């Protein structure tokens, strides 16, 4: 009986020692797998032990474990195709010149510059009179058929005014007011200035924004007014859009057809923004490298709005306070691409072996 008990205890002890040995070996092997050394200047050169880069003869640097929760939490909608997250030591960051900035709320604005001319537009006044006459005729029609024709005339005249840049509110004021079109659209002591703005600059324009005008023929004189209208039609050959500004000129210094320089000031207000240098491009998509704790770098797709004062407005993808990379982006992106290649290689299943 005693012999059986001793034998039983020996078997249990042996199994326990065996399991502990297996666990210890597994942990040791796991630790060994994390040992990776890489050249800081040539990321493709790696080794499982310390050594020297065969290309530049620099010492290989130990790569820290990159399977941390902060990096592993990257979701599909936060990833950038072909790129992966990775870790850089502080020494290597300093070596390649990495700098950072935070996404912050900033007051943004920019200027649109264009060439223009002082204009009196007889075609516009003719179109206005046609519209007002059509509205007046419509009110006098009693016959159903005639009213339908009058409605068509009003609609046609209104469309013509809209194509010439008048807003719905301006058109309504023309039909409801008894004042002359000249008084309504061009007050006494003011002039119209027409300018051609490139199509890609139109997005931030709207009636009422501030406009500054100077004329080479009138030195040291600055005229300030407001943008009145934006033509909805793009001029195909030049890819420009005509805009009209109302400029007060009480001294009547600006004569029709005078050449002027136009500066339109766009105030975007307070927006979440990041430095222009932080934004990278993958095809038509934009992305940045966000910096997590302990030197973990992660590619993050963003939606960027207008660019102003050396900053991009960020409409999605980042929050205020997020830290992003602003320099050495080429080297950071190269490391991320390499990490993406390695991740794809490890995730691609090996082809099944077919025996004969």
Domain boundaries, the chain: 22-62, 63-107+270-346, 121-185
Its sign, for the CA torsion 22, 28, 33, 34, is positive
State whether residue 150 is helix, strand or coil: helix
Q: Taking 70 as the threshold, does the pLDDT of residue 16 lie above it?
A: no
Task: For residue 308, give every residue at least 6 positions away whose Cβ sits within 8 Å of its Cβ, in sequence order, or none.
Answer: 108, 109, 110, 266, 268
For 136-158, the pLDDT digits (tens) are 888 777 777 777 788 888 888 88
Q: Taking 90 as the threshold, does the pLDDT of residue 218 lie above it?
A: yes
Q: Contact 242/234 with Cβ under 8 angstroms?
A: no
Please give the Cα distance from 13 to 353 (Å, whole number). Answer: 41
State whether residue 29 is helix, strand or coil: helix
- Torsion, CA 130, CA 135, CA 137, CA 143, rounded to 10: 140
Question: Where does the pLDDT of residue 26 fall: very low under 50, low under 70, confident under 90, or very high at 90 and above?
Answer: very low
State whether residue 83 is helix, strand or coil: coil
98: which DSSP letter? -
Question: Where does the pLDDT of residue 341 fall: very low under 50, low under 70, confident under 90, or very high at 90 and above?
Answer: confident
Task: For residue 332, give every residue at least 6 positions away whose Cβ sits within 8 Å of its Cβ, in sequence order, or none.
Answer: 96, 98, 289, 297, 325
Distances (CA, A) of 17 to 5, 8, 11, 21: 18, 14, 10, 6
For 158-200, the pLDDT digits (tens) are 888 888 878 788 788 787 777 776 676 778 899 999 999 999 8
- Which is more confident, 16 or 115? 115
* Mean pLDDT, rounded, for 344-354: 57
For position 351, what pLDDT does the model report?
Answer: 54
The answer regarding whether domain 63-107+270-346 maps to CATH 2.40.420.20 reads: yes
Query: What is the maximal distance between C-alpha atoms in the chain?
Result: 124
Q: Contact 290/234 with Cβ under 8 angstroms?
A: no
> Chain centroid to CA 222: how far?
34
Task: For residue 274, give every residue at least 6 positions away whose Cβ sits within 8 Å of its Cβ, in sequence order, or none.
Answer: 101, 103, 288, 311, 312, 314, 318, 324
Task: Give the DSSP per-residue string, 156-202.
Answer: HHHHHHHHTT--HHHHHHHHH--S-HHHHHS-TTEEEEEEEEEGGG-
3-state helix vs strand vs coil in the chain, percent to 5: 35, 35, 30
What Rg, from alpha-carbon coordinates, does the chain have? 35
Range with the poorest average pLDDT among 27-36, 204-213, 251-260, 330-339: 27-36
Cβ burial of 89 (10 Å; 0-12, 13-18, 19+) is: middle
Listed in sequence order, the DSSP H helices in the chain are 2-33, 69-72, 90-96, 122-140, 144-163, 168-176, 181-185, 329-347
* Mean pLDDT, rounded, for 27-55: 68
For 231-282, the pLDDT digits (tens) are 888 999 999 999 999 999 999 999 999 999 999 999 889 999 999 999 999 8
Residue whose entry in the numeric block shows the structure tokens 């100077």: 214
């Amino acid at each position: 009986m005693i012999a059986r008990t001793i034998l039983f205890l020996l078997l249990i002890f042996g199994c326990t020692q065996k399991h502990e040995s297996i666990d210890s070996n597994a942990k040791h092997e796991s630790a060994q797998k994390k040992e990776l050394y890489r050249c800081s200047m040539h990321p493709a050169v790696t080794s499982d032990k310390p050594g020297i880069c065969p290309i530049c003869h620099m010492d290989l640097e130990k790569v820290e474990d990159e399977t941390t929760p902060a990096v592993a939490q990257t979701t599909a909608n936060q990833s950038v195709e072909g790129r992966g997250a990775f870790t850089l030591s502080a020494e290597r960051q300093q070596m390649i010149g990495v700098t950072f900035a935070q996404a912050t709320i900033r007051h943004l604005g920019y200027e649109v510059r264009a060439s223009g001319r002082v204009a009196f537009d007889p075609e516009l006044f003719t179109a206005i009179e046609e519209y007002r006459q059509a509205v007046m005729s419509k009110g006098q029609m009693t016959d159903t058929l005639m009213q339908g024709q009058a409605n068509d005339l009003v609609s046609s005249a209104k469309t013509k005014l809209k194509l010439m840049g008048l807003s719905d509110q301006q058109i309504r004021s023309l039909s409801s007011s008894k004042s002359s079109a000249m008084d309504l659209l061009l007050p006494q002591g003011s002039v119209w200035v027409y300018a051609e703005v490139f199509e890609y600059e139109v997005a931030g324009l709207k009636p009422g924004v501030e406009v500054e005008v100077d004329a080479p023929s009138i030195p040291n004189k600055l005229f300030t007014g407001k943008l009145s209208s934006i033509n909805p039609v793009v001029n195909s050959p030049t890819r420009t859009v005509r805009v009209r500004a109302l400029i007060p000129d009480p001294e009547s210094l600006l004569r029709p057809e005078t050449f002027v320089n136009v500066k339109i000031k766009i105030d975007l207000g307070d927006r979440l923004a990041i430095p222009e240098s932080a934004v990278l491009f993958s095809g038509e998509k934009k992305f940045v490298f966000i910096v997590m704790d302990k030197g973990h770098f992660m590619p993050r797709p963003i939606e960027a709005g207008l660019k102003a004062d050396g900053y991009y407005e960020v409409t999605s993808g980042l929050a205020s306070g997020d830290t992003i990379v602003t320099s050495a982006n080429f080297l950071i992106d190269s490391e991320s691409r390499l990490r993406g290649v390695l991740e794809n290689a490890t995730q691609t299943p090996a082809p099944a072996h077919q025996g004969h």
